[in-house]
Structure 1
Amino acid sequence: WALADCVSQAADCAGVKGCSWQRSLLASCMKCLTTTYGTNKELQEATPEAEMALLSRLKELMPLVKDDVPSEWNNLVKSGLKYRYKDLAFLEALRCGIEHWYEPDGPRTKDLVQLPAIHMMVTQHSLFLPSFLRSREEDESSCSVIRENLADLLRTIVTKCPSVCDRNHFAIMLGAYGATLSATDQKILTLLQAYEQNNLSLTDFRLLLWGPAAVEHHKTRKSLGKSLWQQPSMEEILTLLDREKMMNTILNFPLHRKLTGEVMFLYIMYVMFYPITFMEV
């Protein structure tokens, strides 16, 4: 890569357009990552330095190659989701690739893997539900970084390809939602709003619980069927509200916020507030 940097720098100084050169570098970077993932299948606690360097290089090259994206991207997506599903650096690189190379009518380069296929690989992975859903044992003040990255990735896919939206996804998204002003919950809320913008109403879904309670209630609804199932009562919903958190919301809620999805820099104490946006749904 040191040699590649020298060649790139020389080309820039000479005023030579390096599109084909940059594309070759991008393809090489993708091949290296795919091979590395296939060789080292078990992810360590932290992303290895060599992989981080390659992912950083990959993200640098993405904006430089807008069309004719190397087909190696397809193998990288499949290998990465198979062996690096919980690697935050890979998930962010995948999100950036989708942001750069996909349009609402499909990928800019014809042979790239389609977004519905990527969405399926993400949401039907064996690690998706354990990584995305909240558990009863989870500390409410803690924020799952992997959940936040997955929410970012899914929101990008939904924005680029609204056809992947399905009302059955509401139960999973509500199961991941904690109804706080943490960055993670705000991103899940904007994901829910993206579904609303694509004519899938959360109100019509008729399940206004969140967290583990939403998952359990959805399971009950599926097992009992429409004839025996009942909507959650107001008492069930109010049970989820914490008295202290409600008081903090009343006394300290940031008044500058609007009743729309808003991802912003947050103070950690905001985790102890309820988002009025969701309460208005």
Structure 2
Amino acid sequence: MSFLEITRGDSPVVLGLPHTGTELPDGLDDALNDGGRALADTDWHIHDLYEGLLEGVTSVRTRIHRYAIDVNRDPAGISLYPGQNTTGLCPVTDFDGHPIYHEGQAPDAAETERRRLAYHAPYHAALSAELERVKARHGFAVLYDCHSIRSEIPFLFDGTLPDFNIGTNNGTTCAAAVESEVRQVCEAAQGYTSILNGRFKGGWTTRHYGRPSDGVHAIQMELAQSTYLTAEAAPWPYDDDKAERLRGHLADILSRLDALARKGQL
């Protein structure tokens, strides 16, 4: 699919990149209002932040924006966080709770299904294929799902988000060793804050693929965008100094996960 970017390597680690895309399908730009067209809820620059951190890593990225369809949501439309504010499979509001469509232009059930088949299903077919490929090679696969978000969004959470937000759906999506390695790096990173299974426990991708008993381990990392952006506002400028400091810790995480799987310690 032309909107998918797949990089294949020989590491047991696979990076998921579901929310870095900024492309909109034909016609969607006209349906979105000014707030929607701002694409504020993008995981800005995340594919650049992780570029080159682990030799041989596989990655699967969609260039389609999450406002078209969110590939990290349950395709059945079931909420990941019942009782809490969130956005859906085809979002109709932004993270601040503001409508993103012109009146009467939000997708109906038929349009949502069309987008699911066109963009959500192919992304997951590709991701599933890569996980099976590396698992066949190593006996294990580790899915590391890459995310970022503004550090202050009252509609979604109170206060300021920690810098590293690790999600394993309360320890169910990966072996304890995977969770432990990631947590150790984050807690030891000077000048950063971290939390395990706080507001973000892992999206549908992490929960769907994380099957430790079958040799597929999944973990989500939600980074506060303040850790690598100059400002959490348009035009979302990448801060080279902040990013380089952060990249050292992210490289440590990925190398440890790679070593765990290669040594068969999962």
Of structures 1 and 2, the larger Rg is shown by 1
If each structure's strand is expressed as a fraction of its own residues, which one has the higher value?
2
- TM-score, normalised via structure 2 length: 0.28
- TM-score, normalised via structure 1 length: 0.27
